[in-house]
A = this chain, B = another copy of it.
Amino acid sequence: VSENELRIGEVARRAGTTPRTIRYYEEIGLLPPADGRASGAHRTYAESAVEQLTGLLQLKDLLGLSLEELKDLQAAEAARAVRRREWDEGVDDPVRRREILQASLGDIERKLDLVRRRQESIGQLEDDLSRQARRIKKLLADAD
Contacts and interface: CB of A to CB of B under 8 A. Distances in A.
Interface string A109-132: 101100110110111011001101
Nearest to A138: B101
Contact of A140 (B102, B109, B118): B102
Interface stretch (A18-26, A42-50, A57-65): A57-65
User: Which secondary structure dominates where chain A touches chain B?
Assistant: helix
B132 A94 contact: no
A136 interface: yes
Interface residues of A, number: 33
Given A105-B137, A140-B105, A122 B64 contact: no
Nearest to A98: B143
A16 to B, nearest CB: 12
Contact of A143 (B97, B121, B137): B97
A41 interface: no
